[in-house]
Amino acid sequence: MVTKNQVKYIQSLSHKKFRDEEAVFVAEGPKVVAELLSMPYMKVKELYGTADWWSFAPQRKTEPGSVEVTDSELERLSFLKTPNQVLAIFYKPDLVVVPGGWQLLLDGIQDPGNLGTIIRIADWFGVEQIVCSEDCADAFNPKVVQSTMASIGRVEIIYTDLVEYVKAHAHRDFLAATLGGTPMKEVKIHGPSSLVIGNESRGIRPELMQHLKHFVTIPRTGAAESLNAAVATGILLSQLKEA
């Protein structure tokens, strides 16, 4: 049985303010939840599953915060249009990546789906750290979490002033993704670097661009005006990491 207070609490987590206060986030669906539960450093606070889901995870049913719900109750809790067996509230992971590897810098990525997909792409290519401008979408927004397909548990996300960050890390090479840069296959890279991806419509803001020295692009052979930010990130990482 789900109480009104439980529904109210979970729905409040659609707001960044309450997620930050509680240091938690919501994940949904058997695949995402199971993968996050399998990570030893991920701690679950509450777990709401239907009878079908509990039949595959009976060992967790006796844990504090575990509740069996009906399909209709899950609909009241869920942020998805089509709820899928289980909803979990996890504590945010305390990931700390040792500096030195490849990283992404995201400047003003505001679409939750784009950000979630970029986090998933970073995880695919072994990029363990993403540094976001303060106006990027929140990485623990439920839509972002679902788009990451559990990669949110493996990639460290930092929010900061990117201009100050670039100035403070002058020893790194920052590669700005632009329309007028050097074709990526021609770029010579010496050691791990940072790939900078700009806003979906405006690109990298001028005040950050003036502190960047290296510019890369994806050569265009067709007539499309631009690429989706997440698609561009995947293409660039697939080749820049081979350079």
Q: Where are the domains of the chain?
A: 4-91, 103-240
pTM for the full model?
A: 0.94
Q: What is the pLDDT of residue 102?
A: 87
Exposed e or buried b for every residue in 86-112, given b needs 16+ CB within 10 A? bbbbbebbeeeeeeeebbbbbbbbebb
Q: Does domain 4-91 have CATH number 3.90.1300.10?
A: no
Largest CA distance in the chain: 60
In angstroms and rounded to an integer, the radius of gyration of the C-alpha atoms of the chain is: 20
pLDDT values of the chain reduced to their tens digit, one per residue, 243 residues: 899 999 999 999 999 999 999 999 999 999 999 999 999 999 999 999 999 999 988 888 888 899 999 999 999 999 999 999 999 999 999 988 776 788 999 999 999 999 999 999 999 999 999 999 999 999 999 999 999 999 999 999 999 999 999 999 988 899 999 988 998 888 887 777 899 999 988 999 999 999 999 999 998 889 888 889 999 999 999 987 555
Which pLDDT belongs to residue 13? 98
- Give me the pLDDT at residue 241, please: 57
User: In angstroms, rounded to a whole number, what is the distance separating the alpha carbons of residues 126 and 232?
Assistant: 17
Q: Which residues, other chains included, contact 191 with Cβ-Cβ below 8 Å and sequence gap of 6+?
A: 173
Tokens, residue 115:
């950000």
Please give the pLDDT value at position 243: 53
> Can you give the pLDDT at residue 1?
81
> With respect to CATH, is domain 103-240 assigned 3.40.50.720?
no
C-alpha span between 107 and 197 (Å, rounded): 6
Give the pLDDT score at 59: 87
